[in-house]
Structure 1
Amino acid sequence: MTVERPDPPRCGGEREMLRVFLDFHRATLAMKCDGLSDEELRSLSMPPSTLSLLGLVRHMAEVERTWFRRVIAGEDVPLVWSAEGDFQEAYAAGSSTRVSAFGAWEAEVERAREIEAGAESLDVMGHQARWGEDVSLRFVMLHMIHEYARHNGHADFLREGIDGSVGA
């Protein structure tokens, strides 16, 4: 699988810039996982951490689902891997496979894109029940860029530890 990563524009409208930077970071996570076996994707960072590339993909599926479907769209859907709403469960990849983790993540990314595209503006509001606060779509997109950027840093180290691959 060859991952195509968008080149963010150097100028443009706010919404276009947010969309492309978010897709840039989504593609970066996929690139960090490209070409690895299920076993390599489940490789742990270092004890006692259970962090793995596959766990990051699973976690980001939960994050996409929560912020776009549950918060912005108000959909009453459970988390993907935790009936109790524990985001930490997604990190424990266990016997997960690329197919299951990426299938869930890609489905959530596609649904998130639909929700964002269907919103009339970045000022659309949703309710973040965990915080007891309303947040804008603008906030959600910025938060998602932050979330991916942070975890892509983890992915850099994880990938380097697996096969020495760095960069991108």
Structure 2
Amino acid sequence: MTSEERPEPALDAAERPMLEGWLDYHRETLARKCAGLTDAQLREASVPPSAFTLLGLVRHLTEVERFWFREILAGEELPDLYSTRENPDGDFAVTETDTWAETESAWRAETAAARKSAAAYGLDDFSQGVGSAGEPFNLRWIYTHMIEEYARHNGHADLVRERVDGATGV
């Protein structure tokens, strides 16, 4: 799917397709916020000295997809991608060698893996993994949280995109 193909969420879907539709809508909204920019623009900080960039945001959401759908929901034990215990903000620490092509590829791979993990569960099914307080989450909660996560960060992406090239409403 390309950013030009952002799916509009259905107005009359059942609960699961509605949740999946809104999550896909917000995923593709993020892709649209990044579309048409160079790697250098995607690495441009929102308001220096902040390290917050569009590329870092996509890396962050790559880790969020991986964490909630694979590590928490499916109970997979996976190696770190960008962040570590020693560097918890490593997802936002982009360098001159980080590119949109590799970042988008990793993000798209994790969203595909997230869909595959979620397909094995019903909305009321609890996760194999647990949160920091030892609690499991049902898939409905994870979908709702992910929609909130993307919606919030898409607001951040609006501001960064406007700062980078003046585009709004992308």
Normalized against structure 1, the TM-score is what?
Answer: 0.93
Residue 86 of structure 1, CA deviation? 5.0
| Secondary structure at the counterpart of residue 142 of structure 2 | helix
Change (3 A) 1:162 1:8: same
1:137 equivalent in structure 2: 139
1:17 aligns with 2:13: no
Distance 1:16 1:54 in 2: 29
What's 1:3 paired with? 4
Q: CA deviation at 1:80?
A: 1.0
Cα RMSD, aligned residues only? 1.5
Number of residues of Structure 1 aligned to a counterpart in Structure 2: 167
Q: What percentage of residue pairs aligned between the two structures are identical? A: 47
Greater strand share, structure number: 1
Please state how far the C-alpha of 1:92 moved relative to its aligned partner: 1.5
Structure 1: gaps spanning 5 or more residues: none
Alignment of 1:120-131 (within 5 A): 121-126=122-127, 127-131=129-133
| Equivalent position of 1:106 in the other structure | 108
Q: Which runs of 5+ in 2 are unaligned?
A: none
Tell me how far apart the structure 1 counterparts of residues 89 and 10 of structure 2 sit (CA, whole Å). 34
SS at match of 1:133: coil
SS for the counterpart of 2:132 is: coil
Give the residue type in structure 1 aligned to 2:42. Answer: L
Q: Secondary structure at the match of 2:83?
A: coil
Q: 2:84, 2:90 within 8 Å by CA — same for their partners in 1?
A: no
Cα distance in 2 for residues equivalent to 1:134 and 1:158: 34
Distance in 2, Cα, partners of 1:71 & 1:86: 21
